[in-house]
Structure 1
Amino acid sequence: MADMTSSPLISVTELAAALDSSRPPVLLDIRWQLGGPPGAEEYAAGHLPGAYYVDLDRELASPPGVAGRHPLPDPEVLGGALRRAGVSSDRPVVVYDAGPATSAARAWWLLRWAGHPEVRVLDGGLAAWRAAGLPETTEVPPAQAGDFKPVPGQLPTLDAARAAGLAREGLLLDARAGERYRGEVEPVDPRAGHIPGAVSAPTTENLAADGRFLAPAVLAERFRGLGAADRRVGVYCGSGVTAAHELLALEVAGFRGVALYPGSWSEWSANPDNPVATTELPG
């Protein structure tokens, strides 16, 4: 576990001050939810001043297919979307969503995977911003000409075989709701259950009642209790979105080098040769 001197989170107070500074961050609105409504509609109805909307389905993922419902994006598509929003290598970026940081975490992870050095997530998202009485706007800022060019592969990832191996020899965390992990329900993907050997760690347990992340020490205790202290760790979810939220929580807690399985359950369950488990393992 590394030190926690630099948090990947930013509070609404810190963000408000940063936006009024000589080096304001680029703001990216990543609102999205499975099954809609489209985040673009919510963005049009009101967003943080100066924020640019980025579409998770079209710009932060490739089209669904054999690699899952949200495969990693084409670097050219990702780079084009980020540059239009003014993202440059020498300017900080802050990403936010409606509140729980699920989709914002996907953008945070992707930007770092693509090599951006300074990305943070607004803790509590738009809900926290509104609760603080801070301003919103419906004005859409003009397209920019940022210079950021993605260099993929700066963070570790897993394919199906390596995910299976990590479940046997390290720690593979399943970030979905417990009922999906246990195979009691499966609303989206072909089969119910989980990757054999994976441990249930729902992302909802990373958050306090107000939608902000738990304190670093509390999160660290949670993940140590799941066995993350002295093992190689990987995370998956349904399609690689909420798994990024788990990775964010792990980083807040001080854990580094955790790998993401981008294809996640959507890829795993679509292959009939992959085994499925429904028995819960103790953390």
Structure 2
Amino acid sequence: MNAIISASRLARDLAGPTPPVLLDVRWQLGGPHLRSAYEEAHLPGAVFVDLDAELAGPAGPAGRHPLPDVEEFGAVMRAAGVSADRDVVVYDGGQGWAAARAWWLLRWTGHPSVRVLDGGLGRWSGQLESGTPTPRAGTFVPVPGAVELLDADGAAELARSGLLLDARAGERYRGEVEPVDPVAGHIPGAVSAPTTENVTEKGDLRPAEELAARFARLGADGTTRVGVYCGSGVSGAHQVLALAVAGVPAALYVGSWSEWSADPSRPVAKGPEPS
């Protein structure tokens, strides 16, 4: 099944006999909490999922958004109505990063059918509702390992033997600025591939053929293993989503730069070149 869904297709699916479960994952790095915005207006029946509290564990040496406890994640998904035999659609405010984080976690834990609303909430022209729905409990039991996950050592190895893409802004990759983490630069051998270049000016993912051409130019041409990292495993999930749309499987280094840079023993590269 496709990794993304258009608003028009979602409207048709919601009107069908087995509508998908909707998860609202609006989130803003360093910004205000968006649960109140969700309570004011959301897609009918959508359940709010808190990225910081429910799609990540506590920040620490493993990064700013490490993996959540799997049992706790499963409980959150079941409370939201998620079952393995029912489609799931996730959306956010439009950037797509938070929705992609939920998409990746559900895929990693074995859900067979989850998609991201392309363009997010702003693409929806149908009815919205307020308040907090109480869905019927789901039955989803997460089983980690359905897609590849990288740790720090695995990311370092892949940067040498395959292709490791750095999804952050180019100036952070080059080490010119670092607004969040304690050290500037990138993992030696990683290739700069800002997530923001995967979307159009309107915020939709570029067509699959454009994405495939972009990633092929970066070296992801189907002949080598591909991995992705970012600042803390959020925008990197969106890069994995874009690669999936392009037909390229990719592993995610969830700890990303926030974990890598917290360990002073790990090497750091700066400048526009991988090494």
**How would you bin the TM-score normalised by the shorter chain?**
over 0.9
AA matched with 2:242: A
CA offsets 1:119-143 (integer angstroms, 9 cap, x no match): 00000000111xxx32211132114
Segment drifting more, 99-108 vs 37-46: 37-46
Which residue is 1:238 aligned to? 231
AA matched with 1:276: V
| 2:113 counterpart of 1:113 | no
Which residue is 2:172 aligned to? 180
Unaligned 5+ segments in structure 2 are none
| SS in structure 2 of the partner of residue 121 of structure 1 | strand
User: For residues 47-58 of structure 1, what are the structure 2 equivalents within 5 Å?
Assistant: 47-58=42-53
Segment drifting more, 201-210 vs 41-50: 41-50
Counterpart Cα distance in 2 of 1:94 and 1:176: 25
| SS in structure 2 of the partner of residue 21 of structure 1 | coil
Counterpart Cα distance in 2 of 1:162 and 1:75: 21
| 2:186 counterpart of 1:194 | yes
AA matched with 1:240: G
| 2:134 counterpart of 1:139 | no
CA offsets 1:65-108 (integer angstroms, 9 cap, x no match): 11101111101111111111110111000000001211000000
AA matched with 1:212: D
AA matched with 1:279: G
Counterpart Cα distance in 2 of 1:135 and 1:80: 29
Paired residues in the alignment total 273
Alpha-carbon distance, 1:280 to partner: 1.4
Which residue is 2:270 aligned to? 278
| SS in structure 2 of the partner of residue 27 of structure 1 | strand
AA matched with 1:70: H
User: For residues 200-239 of structure 1, what are the structure 2 equivalents within 5 Å?
Assistant: 200-229=192-221, 230-239=223-232
| SS in structure 2 of the partner of residue 244 of structure 1 | helix
| 2:13 counterpart of 1:18 | yes
Which residue is 2:73 aligned to? 78
TM-score after normalising by structure 1: 0.95
TM-score after normalising by structure 2: 0.97
AA matched with 1:99: G
AA matched with 2:207: A
AA matched with 1:222: R
Which residue is 1:171 aligned to? 163
Residue 97 of structure 1 contacts residue 104 of structure 1 at CA under 8 Å; is this kept in 2? Answer: yes
| 2:261 counterpart of 1:269 | yes
Residue 49 of structure 1 contacts residue 139 of structure 1 at CA under 8 Å; is this kept in 2? Answer: no
| SS in structure 1 of the partner of residue 147 of structure 2 | coil
CA RMSD of aligned residues (A): 1.0
Counterpart Cα distance in 2 of 1:201 and 1:136: 35
Alpha-carbon distance, 1:39 to partner: 2.1
Counterpart Cα distance in 2 of 1:281 and 1:82: 41
Segment drifting more, 141-150 vs 264-273: 141-150
User: Structure 1 residue runs of 4+, over 2 Å off?
Assistant: none
AA matched with 2:32: P
Counterpart Cα distance in 2 of 1:7 and 1:143: 25
| 2:92 counterpart of 1:100 | no
AA matched with 1:254: G
Residue 171 of structure 1 contacts residue 234 of structure 1 at CA under 8 Å; is this kept in 2? Answer: yes
Residue 96 of structure 1 contacts residue 126 of structure 1 at CA under 8 Å; is this kept in 2? Answer: yes
| SS in structure 2 of the partner of residue 140 of structure 1 | coil
Give the % identical residues: 63
AA matched with 2:255: G
AA matched with 1:200: S
Counterpart Cα distance in 2 of 1:234 and 1:39: 30
Residue 40 of structure 2 contacts residue 131 of structure 2 at CA under 8 Å; is this kept in 1? Answer: no
AA matched with 2:118: D
Unaligned 5+ segments in structure 1 are 1-5
| SS in structure 1 of the partner of residue 239 of structure 2 | helix
| SS in structure 1 of the partner of residue 116 of structure 2 | strand
